[in-house]
Amino acid sequence: MPNMQDWFKVGTAALGPWSVERETLVIRYCDCNFKCPICYAAGPSYIHRLQKSKYPNSSTIGSGSITRIIYNNNYLNYVGRNILDKLRAKAYIRIQGGEPIFKSSLNKDRPKLTAHLAIDSLKMGKKSGADRFVCVIQTNGYYLGLREKHAREFIDDVIEIAKEKKLLDELKKEDRYRIAIEISYKAPNDSDFKIFSGRPKFDFKKQINAYWNLVRVVQDYNLDGMAIYPIAGFVMPLKNTCGIVPVGRNNLPLFHRNTWDADFERVIDDYWNSLRDKNQRRYDNFRRYVYNKFGKLELIRGEELEITGFQRHVPFVYSKFQEFRDHFDKFKQCFKLCPGCSKNRIYQQYVDIGLEQLSMDTCNAWRNNLDGYIFSDLSKKYYPNL
């Protein structure tokens, strides 16, 4: 394998670029092509771009640093020995942070490196003795949606490396060791996308195209062990907790059904049909059914913006970087607060930087509306087609 290098977030709980979460080992890149104003990792992801600097900033996510890691067989062998014990207790590896699948001036090898990381992760999962193991690649999809060629090149890299590592049969027969590509939609329509991606000149159709490009390529190659599915990238807290509420079209919470445009709805319909219709189902070895309150298989995962340690990052960088203040202030009127923990220090920090507080009645009404088709839960529940 050739040496490949990229920038990663390395913290006290990390082994190289690997961070430990409850159910998942996470590989976190730095540097991103989006500038989502509420991004939990704005520091390493894009503040350097606001500052016209070439390289990512030092980490502003708790403790840790940003470092360039050279990825080759020697590094992999070293990391593998350290993480196998932790891996045995996990169900997933997730590749995220920054954007795992786009070529930039900083690193043109990132898609190929992500393909290597995904297959090598499965290989280590298999070595750990896990009965089932899934590597999830969380992507905004923009690069994959620019041209179908990009999606095909990425899947070609996955196939080539899987063949080399003797894992291609696993990806073809949809058995124990699998890859899921999760397209994180920043909004369900173009006008909101331009706000919540932080990129007013970017085209929402690229996120839409990413889904269809990947589905076509994976079907062409008969890779039943690869799943493609959409998620709602930013939603209000769906449980009875306080948090941040992104508000989009017609002053409705982001991903409210009335904010979907026709292109986004076609993606969701295709995803739902691929799960529930035996004639269209792409994932024959269906693991887990998730039903909404009406008894229909019509739920997509949402990433809640509850008040947690992750969300302390935004007020911190807001106070530290003038460039981020200028950026966030352009969009902050689209973020509201759901009450319930007004004494929480992080909640108060958001009040201090100008987020409006909603009434609990409004938040509960919006929750009830979203509850029919969006959910958020632990990994073992929120990957229904794994």
User: What are the tens digits of pLDDT across the range 48-63?
Assistant: 999 999 889 877 766 6
Pick from 354, 261, 254, 316: nearest CA to 47: 316
Q: Which residues pair with 180 in a beta bridge?
A: 136, 227
User: What are the tens digits of pLDDT across the range 288-343?
Assistant: 456 666 666 678 889 999 888 777 889 989 999 999 999 999 999 999 999 888 78
At residue 4, what is the residue type? Answer: M
- pLDDT for position 384: 44
Distance CA 126, CA 104 (A): 32
Give the mean model confidence (pLDDT) for residues 86-106: 86
Angle at 161 between CA 155 and CA 166, to 5 degrees: 120
Distance CA 18, CA 86 (A): 11
Q: Residue 21 half-sphere exposure, CB side, CA atoms within 13 Å?
A: 15
Q: At 331, give phi and psi (nearest 5°).
A: -120, -10
* Residue found under tokens 């509960």: 364
pLDDT at 31 over 50: yes
Whole-angstrom distance between the N-terminal and C-terminal Cα of the chain? Answer: 29
Q: Which residues pair with 14 in a beta bridge?
A: 19
Stronger pLDDT, 291 or 191, i.e. the higher one = 191
Give the torsion sign (CA, 50, 211, 371, 132).
negative
E strand or H helix at 274: helix 262-276
* Residue found under tokens 């393909």: 115
Contact criterion met (CB below 8 Å) for 229 and 319: no
Q: In this structure, what token pair is assigned to residue 110?
A: 């990132």
User: What are the tens digits of pLDDT across the range 206-246?
Assistant: 999 999 999 999 999 988 888 898 999 999 998 878 899 99
The total of other beta-carbon atoms located within 10 Å of residue 22's CB is: 8
- pLDDT for position 378: 66
What is the full DSSP assignment across 326-341? HHHHTTGGGEEEE-S-
pTM for the full predicted model: 0.93
Q: In this structure, what token pair is assigned to residue 133?
A: 């193991």
* Residue found under tokens 């009335």: 258
* Residue found under tokens 């990792």: 41
Pick from 291, 307, 285: nearest CA to 385: 285
Contact criterion met (CB below 8 Å) for 83 and 128: no
Domain locations in the chain as residue ranges: 4-234+255-297+361-382
